[in-house]
Structure formats: structure tokens, C-alpha cells
Chain A
Amino acid sequence: MATEHAEHVQQALTPSSYIEHHLSFNAHPFNESAGFWTLHVDTFVMSVALGLIVMGLVWLVARKATSGVPSKGQAFVELTFGFIDDQVKNIFHGNRHSFIAPTALTVFLWVFAMNSMDFLPVDWVAGIVSFFGGEHAKWRAVPTSDINTTFALALSVWILMIFFSIKVKGLGGWIHELFCSPFGSKIWVWPANFLFNLIEYVSKPLSHSLRLFGNMYAGEVIFLLLGLWAATGVSGTIFGAILGAGWSIFHILIVALQAFIFMMLTVVYLAMAHESH
């Protein structure tokens, strides 16, 4: 570790080292060989903290929810609630209140909060972290720009999808559907059907997770590139700040939109699992 530190100190601050520093995780390997058994502490801490804060705030309001005149906080939470509930109602025609709608609310609020970490100035985050953890401590503040997070969510949804498929149609019904839809139940189209469903089952979690990851990762990289302008002098700093502000404003749209899309896809996938073909 010491030599590594020394290396970093000697290294001049170049654009590539700046970007590399901001794009590497605070990885904590559990054993010597590292590999799979590594935890990104920054991603995990940020996402869990945000999840606790966001759902905790909603819980604080929900706990004291009254059917009378709502407080401003309750009115805001109810707006979110109504928004999510309407979306789910349009897609899923079953008992949505027992699982799917609350899941949609969780996904939307959590992903939105995690995406929003993109608004924190990257160098401030780095500054705070280096104040506590040494000059070259790494910290990526946006959990959704870590493929592990988006893939974890997408895979969880994927597992729920298969779970609900089997729960609604039975194991036999699900396997029957794998082979007999979408082209029909004749035996010579079974391979085509199965291939089709296989592609669908593989592509769903991939597109689900990579869409969110790609958007947030690209957003972060653009912030870093704009941040680099500060290295070119006063005018570069001013332009970088102006463009950074512009990109931040545009990024509000992306943050909200990607959270919404991720939530909608979650609901659509789970609703599709409930439908028989």
C-alpha cells in the first residue's frame, strides 16, 4: 500500500489520471486474489445510505399519514404515491397493492436518489473523502454508475419475474410457455419458441441494467470532462462552470427520466410475468 501511495504522489496530475481517479471505485477485496470477492465500499455505502434516507423519510410521513387534511410533507409523498400508483394501475391489472406498486415506489425513489448524486460536484466529493481518507482515497458518489448496482436491481427484477411466472402459471405452465409461445404449440416450432424466449430472458435484464448504467456513467464522464477545463486557466474555469451548470440542468431530466424508465420497465416485466399467453 505504501509504495502504491508513493507512486500516486509522484504521479503528475494529468487529465487521464484525473478521470481515472474519479472513475475508480473504493474497492475492498475480501481475500488476496480479489476477483469476485470484492466490495465497492463507496457504491454500497452511498446506495444503502440513500435508500435508508429516502425510504425513511417516506416512512416518517407514512407512519403519521392521516385521512384528514394532509400536511405539506404528506401531500408531497401522496403526489409521488399517486403518480406511481397511476402508472402501475395502467400496466398491471391485478392486486397491485400487495407487491408490485410498493416495489415500483421503492425502485423509483431509490434510483432517483442514487442518480441525483450526479449533481454533487465530483471534486468536492473527492475533496471531502481525501480529507478523511488520505489524498488518494477513491470515492464514486453515484451508485447507479456502477454496473453492479444496476445489474443487481435488474437481476432481482428478473428473478421476481420468473418467480411470478411460476407462481401464476405453475411450473408446468411456465415451461409450456417457454416452448409454446409465441409461435404456437406445434412440436416443430418448439426450438424456435425456446430460442426466442431465451433471447428475451437474456436481453431483458441486460437492457434494463445497461440503459441506466450507460446514462449515468456517460453523465459522470461529461461532468469530469467539463471539470478538466478548470486546468486550462481562468477562462476555462468560467466556461467549464457555465457548461457544467447547463449539463447539470439537462441532467435533471436524465436523472428523473432514467429513474422513471427503470421503474416502468420493472413494472412492465413483472406485469408481463402475470399474463398467460
Chain B
Amino acid sequence: MNINFTLIAQAIAFAVLIWFTVKFVWPPLLNAIETRQKEIADGLAAASEGRNSLEVAAKKSEVTLNEAKQRASEIIGQAEKRGSQIVEEAKGAAKTEGDRILAGAKAEIEQEVNRAKEGLRAQVSALAIAGAEKILRKEIDGKAHSDMLSKLAAEL
């Protein structure tokens, strides 16, 4: 146990080893580790950001889906209403058209009846006058009596 030159030799070896580590060993390790730490931190940040945006997107899609459903049911409701409305309208239109055709037919029939009546009346009065003329040729003033008879015919 004596102090000798070994001390100095060991101190030099120590100095060289420290220099070697400071220069060649520590920096690449530090660099690799710090780069990896940064990459991991970035990755984690990106992952949580992605998770957030996924949540937002899910919420948004749910809202949109609900809106779409509501809109669809609205449209269906409107369509149903519109359909029944059209059916009602068609029914109404058909009924009025039918009524109108019926009324036209009735009016025509009445007209025909009236015309027949007119014809008959005229013929009846002419027949009556002719009969009366034949029976009452002499004493009866044809003109005055035909007036009277035509009045009578009008009253029929």
C-alpha cells in the first residue's frame, strides 16, 4: 500500500476515458434518446388530437343523422298530406264535373220537353182552330176567335 507513479498513470487513463466519453459516447446516445423522446411526445400529441377530432366528428355525424331523420319524416308527412289532398281534390273535381254533366243533361232534356210542348201546343191550337172552322164556318169570325183560341192555347 504505497503511493507511486501508478497514481499518475491512472489519473492520465481516467482523463483519457472521460475525454473519450464526453466526446464520443455521450453525445450520440443523448441525441438518439432526445430525438426518440420528441418523436414519442409528438406521436402522443397527434394521437390525442386524432381522438378529439374523432369525437367531434362522431358528434357531428350524430347531429346530421338526426337532422336527416327529422327532415325525412317531415317530407314523408308532407307527402302523405299532399297525397290525400290530391285525392280529395280529384274527388271534388270529379263530383263537380259529374254534377255539371248531369245538370247539362237535365237542362237539355227540359229544353227538348219544352220544344215538344211548344210544337204540340201550336199543333193543338191549329187543330182546334181548324176543327172549329169546319164546324162553325159561317157564323164565326175566324180572326177574332183564333185570337181567343191562341190565348186559350197559351194557358194550356
| Inter-subunit contact A105/B26 (CB<8 Å) | yes
Is A115 positioned at the interface, with any CB of B under 8 Å from its CB? no
Chain A residues, Cβ within 8 Å of B17: 51, 55, 106, 110
Kindly provide the distance from the CB of B33 to the nearest chain A CB, expressed in whole angstroms.
6
Count A-B pairs with CB separation below 8 Å: 121
Given the interface pairs A82-B33, A148-B4, the reply to whether A102 lies near B26 with Cβ below 8 Å is yes
| Residue interface mask B1-43, A partner, CB < 8 A = 1 | 1111111111101110110111011111111110110010000
Contact A156 B11 (CB under 8 A): yes
> Chain B's interface: helix, strand, loop or mixed, by majority?
helix
Say whether chain A's binding surface is mostly helix, strand, loop, or mixed: helix
Separation of A39 and B2 alpha carbons in the complex (Å): 11
Beta-carbon contacts of A82-97 to B below 8 Å, as 1s and 0s?
1000000000000001
A43 touches B3 (CB 8 A): no
A152 within 8 A of B: yes
Q: Which of A30, A81, A153 interacts with B14 by CB under 8 Å?
A: A153
- Neighbouring B residues of A102 by C-beta, 8 Å: 18, 21-22, 25-26
Binding site for B on A (CB under 8 A): 27, 30, 35-40, 43-44, 47-48, 51, 55, 58-59, 61-63, 65-68, 70, 74, 77-78, 81-82, 97-99, 101-103, 105-106, 110, 143, 146-149, 151-153, 155-156
Chain B residues with CB under 8 Å of chain A are 1-11, 13-15, 17-18, 20-22, 24-33, 35-36, 39
Q: A65-B32, A143-B10 given. 19 additional CB < 8 A pairs?
A: A27-B4, A37-B4, A38-B4, A38-B6, A39-B4, A40-B6, A43-B10, A44-B10, A47-B10, A47-B13, A58-B21, A67-B33, A68-B36, A78-B29, A106-B14, A148-B7, A153-B10, A153-B11, A156-B11
The contact sample of 28 A-B pairs, CB cut-off 8 A, is A37-B5, A43-B6, A43-B10, A44-B6, A44-B9, A47-B10, A47-B13, A48-B13, A55-B20, A55-B21, A58-B25, A62-B24, A62-B28, A65-B28, A66-B32, A67-B36, A81-B33, A97-B30, A105-B26, A106-B18, A143-B10, A147-B1, A148-B10, A151-B3, A152-B8, A152-B9, A153-B14, A155-B7
